[in-house]
Amino acid sequence: MNRKKVAISLGVGLAISAAALYLSVRNVDFSRLVEVLFSINFWWAIPAFAAIAASFVVRVYRWRLILGPMVPTRFWEAYHPTMIGFAVNCILPGRVGELARPGIISRERGASFFGVFATIAAERVFDLISLLILFALVMKAVTISPDFTMTFGKYTLSGETLNTVAGKMLKLVAVLVVGIILVGVYKTRAAMAWIIMESPRLVFFLSPMAKDAVKRRVCQPVVNLMERTAQGFVMLKSPLRIGLCLAMSFAVWALLGVSWWLMSLGCPFLLAGGQALSIWDLTAAMVIVAFFISLPSVPGFWGLWEAGGIFALALFGVAAEEALSFNLVNHVVQMVPVIAMGGASAVVKGVNIWNLAAQKEAVECGEEKTGN
């Protein structure tokens, strides 16, 4: 990735993160914020670290299951690339860390870079499906503050609106499952690719040159993503393996929800209606933050994480100062073990993380590289 692309990626992420952070803190009483921060019992970070580490163990086993038909790997062979990838996402822009695993496996095992990259795309689909289902479930299980309303221009968001959205999430999951089945069949996938590539012809007001540009910059990347995702699912080959991957995906997010809840036990100020938030409440907040940080942001998701966390906890009547305090601390707690474990793995594997940026540019150009 050249300096211009790095600058653009950082600029866009910084603008979005800054806007989110401004919206998060504009009404915060900072004297109250400091008071709340000093009341936190940080010993609860230790069991939270354990839950986070366990979630990554499950991630590693899930990846081994997806990757196995192409490149059988032992636990540590899959663990180090996984941790390096997530750590790099915390410190470099553009989610460059997604290339760590295929880069390392292709270098060490001689496997196809794009073949391994397809397994990462499949993982992301599993994560999305499990998050959508989890969101629908937790929104039915939690009690949202009856006073909660939030206005966006002409639209008002309330607890009732969120419950409606949760129901629609399940329909979206059904659409995703059908889409996976369709792209898994070669003839169907080929037909879909043809439709995508020919769609610019329908935009009659575009010039031939503009249509060609849309094909190259929009249609072809969409087709490439579809092909890579399909490769990842085709490698699983059986409904049983797909079911196991989905179950592991739920386990990953359940363990992360537990880590959020454990950290909340060290925050006596984190109350809803005078009572401590339940594990369901914290899991709902985690899922909402996960959707927020899927947007472009600075490395580490700063700003978007806090904005999403304040919004999520507002559902349960938590004040902005208390919500921001918890999210600032929990954000650090969630990232420290990832960066530490990833840094240790980078030392073990001798990985130059800056070379991952060059690999990202190669992927965008449709080339294949296997260097470290």
Residue 87 included in any domain: yes
Tell me the pLDDT tens digit for each residue of 285-339: 999 899 888 876 667 788 888 888 888 888 888 888 888 889 999 999 999 999 9
Q: Rounded to whole angstroms, how far apart are CA atoms 345 and 83?
A: 7
Q: Compute and round to an integer the Cα radius of gyration of the chain.
A: 22
Question: At which residue do the structure tokens 């639209």 appear?
Answer: 155
First to last CA, the chain: 15
Torsion sign over Cα 335, 338, 342, 345: positive
Residue 193 included in any domain: no
pTM (whole model) above 0.85: no
Residue 109 included in any domain: yes
Among the listed residues 45, 53, 35, 54, the one whose alpha carbon sits nearest the alpha carbon of residue 261: 45
Domain with 137 in it? 3-157+236-364
CB contact at 8 A, 347 and 62: no
What pairing do the DSSP bridges indicate for beta strands 149-152 and 155-158? Answer: antiparallel
Per-residue pLDDT of the chain (372 residues; tens, 9 = 90+): 455 555 555 566 566 666 666 666 666 677 877 888 889 999 999 999 999 999 999 999 999 998 888 888 999 999 999 999 998 888 876 677 788 888 888 888 888 788 888 888 888 889 988 988 888 888 878 877 666 666 544 555 566 666 676 677 677 777 777 776 676 677 788 888 888 988 888 887 778 888 888 888 888 888 887 777 777 766 666 778 888 999 999 999 999 999 999 999 999 988 776 788 999 999 999 998 998 888 766 677 888 888 888 888 888 888 888 888 899 999 999 999 999 999 899 888 887 665 655 555 555 455 444 444
Can you point out the beta strands (E) in 177-305? 271-272, 275-276
List, in sequence order, every residue forming a beta bridge with 151; answer none if it has no partner. Answer: 156
Please tell me the total count of domains within the chain: 1
Question: In this structure, what are the phi and psi dihedrals at residue 158, rounded to the nearest 5 degrees?
Answer: -135, 175
Residue 197 included in any domain: no
Residue 47 included in any domain: yes
Residue 82 included in any domain: yes
Average model confidence (pLDDT) across the chain:
80
Q: What is the DSSP string of 78-91?
A: HHHHHHHHHHHHHH
Residue 42 included in any domain: yes
pLDDT at residue 371, rounded to an integer: 41
Residue 220 included in any domain: no
